[in-house]
Amino acid sequence: MEATIGVCDRSTVHGLPRAPSLTLTESMILAQFTPRAGAPGANRPLRVPLPPAGPAWFPTVMGTGILSTLIGLLWGDSRAGLAVSSVLLVAAWVLMIGLACGFAKACARDRSVLAGAVREASQRPAWGTVSMGVMSAGSAASTVLPLWSEALSGVALGTDAVLWTAGTVLGLAVAADFARGTGRLGNPTPVWGLTVVAPMVSATAGCAFVPHLGSAAAKVALLGVVAVCFATALVLGAMVFAAAYHHHWRRESLPLALRPSLWIPLGVVGQSTAAIQLIASNVADLLPASARPGVLHAAHLYGIVVLAGIGTAVSAYAAAMTISGFARRMPFGAGWWSLTFPVGTCALGAFYLGRVHGEVGWLHASGVITGVLACTWTLCAVASLTAVALERHA
């Protein structure tokens, strides 16, 4: 069975040829050309196959990895919590390795697959998810494995460091490339955010390595890298999402198939909240005692304004639009996984607000948001397995 996106059934769309199989980001961009109700061709949907194994499906790794991390952080001291987080950790790694192998196999069969994935502008958001996916899997490993045994801490940290380095390099490269040529992707949409959120994930995940460095100079150097990642994602993210909201509020409404992408801005909201708490905590350890309260207070204030203020507004709007989309029979696509990782980042931000500042209320909020994430993850997992099974048996 093929996923359906309601666009004109033509051999070309705005001069672009119809491909026999579209990636996640190609499908999302193609959805921008959905004709309005009553327009010619509006009732002739283009049937688009699910994207093959590869970058387009890495949001599954992102969502699974961050759910594993959160359950490990919140409830890893219980048998049930440890068991669930471990199963999700294995699932995240199986997905990551399986998708990588599937993509490598496709590239080996046809060299144009790799060339297209690297050169085509429409693939940039998907590569952003690859960056975040590998870092999410690494963070899950460094969180969950030590819960089983302290002897696994070294291996887990080393694995996390390797994946963080790879993900950070890829994420910064994708963000820089996007910043040089945003016009190539057409009209702004929240999907663009996938190209710039990765450095913020690097900022959060990178802070985990600071306490393990021996010298103050090494700690300062890593915190400098983390700060650059934080600033890059915050500035580019603000520009991208402001342009996307302006376009869809003032010029053209967001196509039905793109509704899940409205959750993507939460990635910057949640990750920046978590990152700034961890940055402040690590910086405070390097400062005189008299300077520490001011740094921590600034981070705390940022978290409240961004997570409780902006995050609540963005979540409410995204939820309303998504519920409306489901009511209008929004077609399934890999983009549905946008309902997972961004939600998880908000839970992560709330968790570190609670842990760094000793506020139990934020820890409870993190638990509630993680429960919401578990629901959206289950929805996306069931929908994905169903869609893949139906397509294979079609």
How far does CA 38 lie from the centroid of its chain?
35
Q: What pLDDT does residue 7 have? A: 35
pLDDT, mean of residues 301-324: 96
Q: Say whether pLDDT at 45 is over 90.
A: no
Output 19 or 106, whichever has higher pLDDT. 106
pLDDT band at 394 (very low <50, low <70, confident <90, very high): low
Instruction: Count the alpha carbons within 13 Å of 322 in the hemisphere toward its beta carbon.
Output: 19
Report the alpha-carbon distance of residue 269 to residue 263 in Å, rounded: 10
Q: Say whether pLDDT at 254 is over 90.
A: no
Q: What pLDDT does residue 191 have? A: 92
In our burial notation (b when 16+ CB lie closer than 10 A, e otherwise), range 283-294 reads bbeeeeeeebee
For the stretch 84-121, pLDDT in tens is: 999 999 999 999 999 999 999 999 998 888 888 888 87
CB 160, CB 138: distance < 8 Å: yes
For the stretch 136-185, pLDDT in tens is: 999 999 999 999 999 999 999 999 999 999 999 999 999 998 888 754 66
Q: What pLDDT does residue 166 have? A: 98
Report the alpha-carbon distance of residue 265 to residue 242 in Å, rounded: 10
Q: Say whether pLDDT at 229 is over 90.
A: yes
Would you mind telling me the total number of residues written for the chain in this entry? 394
In our burial notation (b when 16+ CB lie closer than 10 A, e otherwise), range 173-185 reads ebbeebeeebeeb
Q: What pLDDT does residue 6 have? A: 34
Give the start-to-end residue ranges of the domains of the chain.
Answer: 3-392
What is the CATH code of the structural domain delimited by 3-392?
1.50.10.150
pTM above the 0.85 mark? yes
Per-chain mean pLDDT for the chain: 87
For the stretch 326-385, pLDDT in tens is: 999 888 888 999 999 999 999 999 999 999 999 999 999 999 999 999 999 999 999 999
CB 78, CB 46: distance < 8 Å: no
Phi first, then psi: what are they for 46, rounded to 5°?
-85, 125
Report the alpha-carbon distance of residue 342 to residue 246 in Å, rounded: 21
